[in-house]
Chain A
Amino acid sequence: MTLFQFYFFEFSAIYILIGWAVYLMFRINQPYFGSLYSMCIGAYFAAYSAINWGWPVWLVLMGAVVVSMLFSLIPAFRLARLGPFPMVIASMAILFIIQTAAKNIDILGGNYGLFGMPFIPYHILLLITYGFLLFIGYLVYHLDQSHIGRAMDAIHFNRDMAATLGVNASSLSVQFQVISSAIGGLAGVLYAYTMGGVFPGAFSLSFMLHAITIVVLGGMFTMWGVIISAPVLWSIGHFLPENMTGLSVIVYGILLIVMLLIRPSGIIDRRLTKNISELRRAIFKTFSRHT
């Protein structure tokens, strides 16, 4: 496996995880990007604990996920009451404050960050990453299909009506903020091990644009869209010539705008998944009749 292929598979999986974390909150109409700052926290925790304390991978993973979840709980109850606008701004504010803190705290390496994490062979890291990807995918899928998924839909389309029907939107928001942050923290650890470390510049506003583009391009109303958009977007950034690397942000921006204008529901929307499942059922029925 070449280094390029490794990075492609690894970053595709990491961005799918981040896409799912953002998607869960979009489902309840709260564009919360806490998973992004949790990714930053997870990555820094992983780098610091692996380099300075010599923690093994499994302990780093557990520690980073727990720390990310605990950190997300601090503002969660207040954030749960906010509407979409303030939610976006509040998430950005927290991301920016954490980034500034990381830049200015000496033990976190300042602008240069923390590097020198223990090397994990590529195939093992891919195995760990895709194991978690399947596990999280399974959880998100079952969450979508359960009564919680229906409650999420109700909140998305009419929060007041959902409350009348007994859905506690604030409580659900807190729970999803924590789950979303745990996924973010996990993605941060995988990111840190892939890069061999972490630096604050990786979690800038353009990173947030990347995450938004993944979800908007893939589709905000199903979990399947990000599986297509995450690898496609990563590839766009890496197939551009070296002297045009700045163009990737412009391409993301244009894709985002064009997609919102022509197909606001994204590449894969609910109608498409319904048609695909009906088609699959029809093919299966025809096939079983012939056999």
Chain B
Amino acid sequence: MRPFGSIAFFPRALLLGATVAAFGAAPGQDAPQPTPPPAPITLVSGAGGKNYLNISFDALIAAGVSTEPDVPGLQTGGHDPAQRGFTFQNGEIVLDGAVDPYFRGQANIVLQITPEGGTTIELEEVYATTTSLPHNLQVKIGQYFSEFGRINPTHPHTWDFVDQPLVNGRMFGGDGLRSLGVRLSWLMPTPFYSEILFGVQNGHGETATSFGSTAGETQFGRPLDPGQVKSFSDFLYVPRYDASFDVGDTQTIVVGASGAFGPNGTGSAADTAIGGVDFFWKWKSARAQKGFPFVKVQAEAMARSYDAAATPLLPETTFHDHGAYAQVVWGIKPMWTVGARYDRVGGDVGDDPADPRFAPRQRAALEGTWYPTEYSKLRVQYAYDDRGGGFKDANSVWLQFEFLLGAHAAHKF
């Protein structure tokens, strides 16, 4: 699914200070003339739904310090801060628009600057969705984030924290679970919002780490080699159900359950199953200005069962692990939020105790964000990592800055 930019928040932060300062200013002396509003000009404007294609660019930059020198070992997300100092987390070019009366198309092209100074480019998502199918059906075709839970299908600039939850890193790797495929969704004819989704995607590649993954990678200490698609059982299957209810005029609840099933790269007939549940609740004032004030709570829990085929040295076995996070974000007043998140992952460590990805750990994070407008933000986050498996605890402070240019489509709720 998508995320895109939007107009979703606005700030207004300086109000208090502003009025106070205004009082301080003596009215009267040489106040400049108020800027006259633009005179009505009757010209054909260049936008306003007059384009075939919306184009936007979003940049996400982090800076900070951590007591852990091995930042990539600490931060499990591919768009998390990657080193002490500055990290270019994400530069996202989004193109979207109506293809014709039957499809909408979207491409998310992501650029990153590696700690070594090189630039990488990734065709993160490219897909079309249908717009005119009957019976409340919708099909999505292309390369897309699997619709599993709430964080996985979204892009980093929509997140409420600087980094992705630990459980997402553990289950889906740094770049999230995404692949080429097709997804059918049905909006059910219930009085409340209720949707069933079913996706079929390639199960191999570096963005399907719990499944085929790529040759040379490991999971639970086991070497992986995905092999070829030989039958329908070699695909990744991703079902999801979600439902939403309004409580009165100001509260909304969304609940969902997702699964991801497919073979993994440890050998033939070795399968992975991941199940997850998610919850979202939001309260927004009936007199919201710029969408503030609000309070939102979000939580996801996942569990994985990973069959590992026998190797010449290791027996066939099944690993089990799990993780969860819960977060609350309070939009105190226009353009200001504070939030807290608790993360936890655990379960089987696998056959390589030195792999930091599988150490049991928990993490607590606090954040504060100021949105100068809905097109920019400045965030500070503190996190304490309590890491098992012989890894040292860590304290980290990250700053994050975002700016958004152009016409970025609005995000899903």
| Bound pair (A, B) | no
